[in-house]
Chain A
Amino acid sequence: MSLDTAVIMVLEILNSITILVLLALGLALIFGMMRIVNLAQGEFFTVGAFTVLASTRYAHLPLWLGMLLAPLVVAGLGIAIERTIIRRLYGRPLDVMLATWGVSLLLIGLITVTFGAVTQGIPFALGNFSVGRYQYPEYRIVMTTVAAGLMLSVYLLFRYTAFGRRARATIANPDMASAAGINTPRMFMLTFGLGAGLAGAAGAIMAPIVGVVPTMGVLYIARAFITVVVGGPIVLLGTLSSASALGLIEALISRFPLFTIATAGHCTPPPCEISIGGSAFFGQIALLIFAILLLRLLPQGISGFWRQRQ
């Protein structure tokens, strides 16, 4: 393998990891801190992307402004849903799951009613840079930077601010936090809003490189959940480590065909064969299988395994 191929390979692995981190960050916050399985997270992602679409196409705002607007809109939506539905269901994890799935279906339906079931693109003006013989999009580097920035801000927010301390206290022991004078329902609401906003940001950032369509959240929600589950109980480090492991597998399998199977179809031109590996779809399959195997070995996820060793 020549040097430029190796560099491109590293960049693609980095891109896979970036996408998984972006998708999983908000979910890890909501799931890891509040123990809520929010199945509407994929639609928060979709609403973020549609906010960008609506603000650039219909309100003629610049792209960056739409991208800044998206997390705010989605955080507001998240807070509204927390206040009306999820608040009544704390302590009933399965019912939260069903209710948020209902919200997810309603949101898909409403977005389709409003915008139609067609895939729309968002034009943007960043080019490619060249690595030896290859071209690589600059926007992907921007995405990686933003993902790293988001992770760092979440870390700083929860580690060093008064809000972060109160939120962590609420998560660790709600009764004690409440006795100490912390408004715990408000903390749950804000944490949920933050998680929703992060999903909105992910949707906004990824909107220009994927087709914007009402069902786009569904395509990502499974991968996001797998990343969070494999990550385990430590929110940020767990997410980062599982995104790295899964992203590596996904990028490698998507890139390299493993073997081919000959079949009896009538292909033009012959021969008829199925290539296992070497496409984005097999990358996803490999990700799922790897995640299931990993969970068989480490039932608490990667970061739970570290915690046990200590």
Chain B
Amino acid sequence: MRRVSSAELLSALVLLLPLLAVPWAFKPYTANVLAVYMIYGLLAMSLGLIWGGAGIMSFGQTAFFGIGAYAYGAIGLNLINRTQQTHTALLGGLAAAALLAAIVGYFMFYGRISDVYASIITMALTLVLFAFAVSTGGDEWVIGVARLGGFNGMFGQGESSQNIANFQIPPVTLWLPGMTEPFAFKINRESAAGYYLVLGVSVAVYVLTRALVRSRLGRVAVAIRENEPRVASLGYDTRFYKFALFTIAGAIAGLAGMLFAAWGRFVNPDRFGLAFAASTVVYVQLGGRASLLGGFVGAAIIGHLTSYLAEVVPFATIPPDAGPWITFLMEAGRRIVREAPLLVQGAVLVGVVLVLKDGVTPPLFRVLARHRRWGWWLLLPAVLVYFGHRVACQQANLCVF
């Protein structure tokens, strides 16, 4: 166990160091995509915390993500033009997600319902929130100046002739005492501050969560996962430990949701949808729930795979003189690519359960732990690629990523 954890630390650093230099070597587009993978990774980590830590399978971790995003958006839209910063929105989003998790957790764990029922209730919660968010399309659904907007997602109210950017959810904006003007974290040609914000929050939450797992709370949670009646008979109030861990995980999911709303400056009911809930479980399942890094690895693999599938298979127009079989095959290929995310997620869920029970990170860690000496040399190809790409970008305008 000890060896695997230090291999995890090594893997974390091997993952982190290349990420630090991404905005230096690549286009803002790449930083943008990596930021959203990290946000999904944070969400997956919150699920991994309660699933791997306490054995509670929450299908509805996205409910807290979505609530965090909507609360941040609503408060941010209302206050950004008055106070020029989003401190209140950040606190409000976090509080909303933690509060929802605490209420649901109270009813689930203090009601002593079994683990299977807990999964079903969290799933039902997400689906009901989806139905709610979709049904808020009318003009009457507003919070101050923020329109919930139904399927169209959240926007501020205002004159349609003004710049659209004024009605979008604000990016994370700080205006601390001593600063002459507010600072907005964005990802574009001029600034990678938004990227570093997401990276910094991910690292900080990862470190804190790792400490939490090793604290008394985390160790009791693992004991509950292994044998709950025995822990209870030793005098621990297992309900409280599950409740506390669930609430913390809900708050982390809400934090990820706020970062998401600030990243895309947008949130819509899809965050409560089944596909998103499924993808979160798939990230953790594929990455492995024995380690907190699993969620990040899974998010990166699946995110890359689905976007790769969507890009690589040609969407060419079918030539009019093509034979019926060619037409049929091309049409079928198109339809399959359109549904690729669902099909990939479904296949991964079934495949991992049947074949690769612990996900991909434990085997990776074992390899790293065995060859710890040359683990650092893994960074060498990354350094070469980064330098090569930056030079090619600047000298010959040959940017790919």
Query: Taking the complex as formed, is A267 at the interface, i.e. its CB lies under 8 A from any CB of chain B?
Result: yes
Nearest 9 CB-CB pairings of A with B? A102-B349, A105-B346, A106-B346, A102-B350, A109-B342, A265-B142, A222-B124, A296-B111, A109-B343
Give the A-B pair count, Cβ closer than 8 A: 143
Which residues between 208 and 237 of chain A lie within 8 Å of chain B, taking CB atoms?
215, 218-219, 221-222, 225-226, 229
- List of A residues within 8 angstroms of B86 by Cβ: none
- Interface 9-residue window, one of B11-19, B132-140, B202-210, B296-304: B132-140
Residue in chain A with minimal CB distance to B336: A113
Residue interface mask A253-288, B partner, CB < 8 A = 1: 000000000011111100011100001010011001
Q: Pick from B127, B278, B285 the residue with the most CB of A within 10 Å.
A: B127
Query: Taking the complex as formed, is B131 at the interface, i.e. its CB lies under 8 A from any CB of chain A?
Result: yes
Query: Taking the complex as formed, is A60 at the interface, i.e. its CB lies under 8 A from any CB of chain B?
Result: no
- List of B residues within 8 angstroms of A264 by Cβ: 142, 144-145
Instruction: Give CA–CA (A106, B347) in the complex, Å.
Output: 7
Instruction: Give CA–CA (A285, B131) in the complex, Å.
Output: 9
B140 and A274 contacting across the interface, CB-CB below 8 Å? yes
A299 and B112 contacting across the interface, CB-CB below 8 Å? yes
* B48 vs chain A, min Cβ distance (A): 14
B107 and A281 contacting across the interface, CB-CB below 8 Å? no
- List of A residues within 8 angstroms of B342 by Cβ: 105-106, 108-109, 112
* A262 vs chain B, min Cβ distance (A): 9
- Interface 9-residue window, one of B39-47, B115-123, B174-182, B253-261: B115-123
Residue interface mask B334-349, A partner, CB < 8 A = 1: 0110110011011111
A109 and B339 contacting across the interface, CB-CB below 8 Å? yes
- List of B residues within 8 angstroms of A88 by Cβ: 354
Instruction: With A265-B147, A284-B131 as known contacts, state yes or no: A102 contacts B353, CB within 8 Å.
Output: yes
Residue in chain B with minimal CB distance to A288: B128
- Residue among B127, B140, B350 making CB contact with A263, cutoff 8 Å: B140
- List of B residues within 8 angstroms of A215 by Cβ: 274
* A287 vs chain B, min Cβ distance (A): 9
Query: Taking the complex as formed, is A95 at the interface, i.e. its CB lies under 8 A from any CB of chain B?
Result: yes
Instruction: With A37-B119, A292-B121, A296-B111 as known contacts, state yes or no: A103 contacts B142, CB within 8 Å.
Output: no
Query: Taking the complex as formed, is B188 at the interface, i.e. its CB lies under 8 A from any CB of chain A?
Result: no
B127 and A218 contacting across the interface, CB-CB below 8 Å? yes
Q: How large is the interface on B (under 10, 10 to 19, 20 to 34, 35 or more residues)?
A: 35 or more
Which residues between 57 and 115 of chain A lie within 8 Å of chain B, taking CB atoms?
85, 88-89, 93-95, 97-99, 101-110, 112-113
* A253 vs chain B, min Cβ distance (A): 13
* A105 vs chain B, min Cβ distance (A): 3
Binding site for B on A (CB under 8 A): 37, 85, 88-89, 93-95, 97-99, 101-110, 112-113, 116, 215, 218-219, 221-222, 225-226, 229, 263-268, 272-274, 279, 281, 284-285, 288, 291-293, 295-297, 299
Instruction: Give CA–CA (A215, B339) in the complex, Å.
Output: 12
- Residue among A102, A222, A284, A285 making CB contact with B348, cutoff 8 Å: A102
Instruction: With A218-B127, A264-B144 as known contacts, state yes or no: A97 contacts B57, CB within 8 Å.
Output: yes
Query: Taking the complex as formed, is B328 at the interface, i.e. its CB lies under 8 A from any CB of chain A?
Result: no
- List of B residues within 8 angstroms of A221 by Cβ: 127
Q: List 21 A-B contacts (CB under 8 A).
A: A37-B119, A85-B354, A89-B354, A95-B357, A98-B281, A99-B349, A99-B354, A102-B349, A102-B353, A104-B346, A112-B342, A113-B332, A113-B339, A218-B127, A229-B120, A265-B141, A267-B140, A281-B131, A292-B121, A295-B107, A299-B112
* A86 vs chain B, min Cβ distance (A): 10
Which residues between 82 and 131 of chain B lie within 8 Å of chain A, taking CB atoms?
104, 107, 110-113, 115-117, 119-121, 123-125, 127-128, 131
A272 and B128 contacting across the interface, CB-CB below 8 Å? no
Query: Taking the complex as formed, is B327 at the interface, i.e. its CB lies under 8 A from any CB of chain A?
Result: no
- Residue among B107, B115, B127, B348 making CB contact with A292, cutoff 8 Å: B107
Query: Taking the complex as formed, is B157 at the interface, i.e. its CB lies under 8 A from any CB of chain A?
Result: yes
